[in-house]
Chains A and B, each alone.
Chain A
Amino acid sequence: MSSEAQAVSSETQQTVSAAPAAVPATKSMSIIVTKGSLDWAYPPFILATTAAAMGLPVTMFFTFYGLPLLLKKLDLKLTAAGNPAMKMPMMGAHMGLPNILTAIPGIDAACSKMMKNLMNKKGVASIEDLRELAVEADVRLIACQMTMDLFEYELDDMIDGPELGGAATYIECATQSDINLFI
């Protein structure tokens, strides 16, 4: 077991030291991305791009509602429904939205727009930008084949870069990664 682990670790080290601008880091990371709302799209893309910037080989596995984050055109939205923690800074206070009001038609679009404006004002990157940075940093993107079939997506609908894979593809990657996250 330990010799196997060592073998994996020295393999990783070789990959890393062979890369340009090599770093002493020998760790690697994988993230399962299962959610595709505007707010939930941030943690996986922030962590993936940052880990890649710190020299870690990173793999993102997009499944279920995370899969649409690979679509060419993103129109991400969020909902305040069932989310009592969502309070936006407004006029010096923090305003939440009672569940009953979240049923108003157009309220999700309005909340999403407010959130995007707020993020822009605060210098937070858009998901489109972070995704592009992830691709640039050679983050490995895997689109879950089963979800592609289930929701009837084609690889042509997606940005350039993702490969297709299933649970076994991910598990193989996870056994070789030091950090495995499910988001």
Chain B
Amino acid sequence: MADHTLDAKGLNCPLPILKARKALKEVPTGGTLEILATDPGAVADFQAFCRQTGNELLEHSVDDSVYRFLIKHTAA
């Protein structure tokens, strides 16, 4: 289970990323953030976001048009 969950459903680019960035600040290092989104562009964007910021994208999946991302706050 993730430490925090962010519901970004219905939001379009770049809001899921911007809100995730804010939410990550509330997650202690080593903790996890779950993000739910409906923007298909978020799949590529969260991968790029994690590569760039050094946070770890533990998993991503899609279920009934809802994308789920699990990010581990690993950046110092």
Contact = CB atoms under 8 A, between A and B. Distances in A.
Interface of A: 17, 20-25, 46, 49-50, 53-55, 122-125, 133
Contacts of A22: 75-76
Given A21-B75, A22-B76, A123-B39, A54 B11 contact: no
B18 interface: yes
B18 A53 contact: yes
Contacts, number: 52
B67 interface: no
Given A49-B18, A54-B49, A24 B75 contact: yes
Nearest to A27: B52
A49 B53 CA distance: 14
Contact of A24 (B11, B13, B25, B54): B54
Contact of B14 (A17, A20, A46, A55): A46
Nearest to A49: B18
Q: Which of B11, B21, B75 has the most CB of A within 10 A?
A: B21
B52 A50 contact: no
A23 B13 contact: no
Interface of B: 10-15, 17-18, 20-21, 24-25, 39, 49, 52-54, 75-76
Contacts of A125: 11-12, 14-15
B53 A122 contact: no
Contact of B53 (A17, A25, A46, A123): A25
Given A21-B25, A24-B75, A53 B14 contact: yes
A123 B13 CA distance: 8
B15 A55 contact: no
Contacts of A24: 53-54, 75
B17 A50 contact: yes
Given A20-B25, A23-B52, A125-B11, 8 more contacts: A21-B76, A24-B53, A25-B52, A49-B14, A53-B14, A53-B18, A53-B49, A124-B13
Q: Which of A24, A25, A123 has the most CB of B within 10 A?
A: A123
Q: Which of B12, B18, B21, B54 has the most CB of A within 10 A?
A: B18
B12 A54 contact: no
A143 B3 CA distance: 41
Contact of A53 (B21, B39, B76): B21
Nearest to A133: B18
Given A21-B75, A23-B54, A24-B54, A124 B21 contact: no
